[in-house]
Amino acid sequence: MTEALLDDLEIAVLLPCYNEAQTIGDVVTGFRAALPSARVYVYDNNSTDSTALRAALAGATVVRERRQGKGNVVRRMFSDIEADIYIMADGDGTYAAVDAPELIRTLITEGADMVVGTRRNVRADAGRQGHAFGNRIFNTLFRSLFGNDFSDIFSGYRVFSRRFAKSFPAVSGGFEIETEMSVHASRLRMPIAELELDYGRRPEGSHSKLSTFRDGAKILWMFAMLMKETRPFVFFGAISGLFMAASLAFMAPVLAAYFSTGLVERMPTWVFSLALMMISFLVFSAGLILDSLARARAEQLRIHYMRLPALPARHRRHAPQSGEAARSRAA
């Protein structure tokens, strides 16, 4: 793909920021050098330092989003900005702007709706050890619940087609937004790709805004809620199974006594076990009904998604005709 083709696309670089005055100027300058024709937007999320000023001096368009949280910022960015291709990165300088053209080329040549820049060196040198351990745990949990489409669901370096940006509901309010993006793509069977990239160290004096335990709990809760919305039969089936197991545990000794003596010696326990069994059946029935509704909703989301063009007509000839998801990893 030629540089002229990149220049012909409407590309928007989206940088959500909170107190990144130390790094944001270099990040904006890097993206302007890597993608001269792109528009760079910095969404300042109530920073108390000079983030907005330094971003503006570096040549970015600065917008303030008063609702705190990365998810709220991403929702606003996707709503406000019109472009053919969207690049999202962090303002902390841990992602290299020089990788952006390759991510865009991968998006176009693979015919993908999202390309994730997976982090090659997510270790203690790029963040706290608890973060690296949490990444491994949550990535494993994601693959077990939603499929093997992604190997790094928390990467903040992503490229999106217009079709993805305008069909993404963005319900999350905080750092769990990347998880929601990954589930959205997996749910609609979108073509996605991954490109393994180096992940840098924060400069001295710059601190991560991610709380290991608080945000980890929010992400875990988001997993549960997305599971309820996208796979309700499995979600409510598991709850139903727990109620059924508790019912049988209370019922077993009462039945054993009945078969040996012919008497129901603990009537309250027997009634309680039957109540638990009824709850189990009700929850299971709810799961069946909600599963049908979830399938219908997924079909509607898919229809809406298909109505949106991934790329302008003049560029579609560069994308493959197959709609199958591609996974591209650099060694």
Q: Does the residue 324 lie in any domain?
A: no
Would strands 114-119 and 158-161 be described as parallel, antiparallel, or unpaired? antiparallel
**Is residue 326 in some structural domain?**
no
Q: What is the CATH number of the domain that holds 103?
A: 3.90.550.10
| 261 pLDDT above the threshold of 80 | yes
6 versus 38: the higher-pLDDT residue is 38
Distance CA 45, CA 93 (A): 17
Q: For the chain, what is the domain count?
A: 2
pLDDT over 60 at 322, yes or no:
no
What's the pLDDT at 131?
61
- Is the same domain home to 156 and 247? no
Say yes or no: 265 and 310 in one domain.
no
pLDDT at 248 over 90: yes
Residue 21 lies in a domain: yes
* 138 shares its domain with 267: no
Q: What is the pLDDT of residue 247?
A: 95
Is 251 a domain residue? Answer: yes
Is residue 205's pLDDT more than 90?
no
Indicate whether 328 belongs to any domain: no
The answer on 257 and 269 residing in a single domain is: yes
Domain coverage including residue 258: 232-295
Distance CA 112, CA 1 (A): 15
Q: What is the pLDDT of residue 40?
A: 96
The whole-number pLDDT of residue 222 equals 82
Q: Residue 223 pLDDT more than 60?
A: yes
285 and 310 belong to one structural domain: no
- Mean of the per-residue pLDDT values of the chain: 84
8 phi-psi bin (left φ>0, alpha ψ -120 to 50, beta other) = alpha
pLDDT in tens, 45-101: 999 989 999 999 999 999 999 999 899 999 999 999 999 999 999 988 889 999 999
Q: Are 244 and 213 in a shared domain?
A: no
pLDDT category at 319 given cuts 50, 70, 90 is low
Residue 25 within a domain? yes
Specify whether the CB–CB gap between 163 and 84 falls below 8 A. Answer: no
In a domain, 75, yes or no: yes
Q: How far is CA 275 from CA 132, 236, 245, 252, 304, in A?
A: 44, 17, 13, 14, 43
Q: Does residue 280 sit in the same domain as residue 143?
A: no
Specify whether 262 is located in the same domain as 291: yes
* 18 and 131 fall within a common domain: yes
- Are 166 and 259 contained in the same domain? no
Q: What is the mean pLDDT of residues 91-119?
A: 91
Whether residue 196 sits in one domain with residue 97: yes
Buried b (16+ CB within 10 A) or exposed e, 35-65: beebbbbbbbbebeebbbebbbebebebbeb
Residue 110 lies in a domain: yes
| 219 plus 250 within the same structural domain | no
Q: pTM, whole model, 2 decimals?
A: 0.79
Q: How high is the pLDDT of residue 330?
A: 42
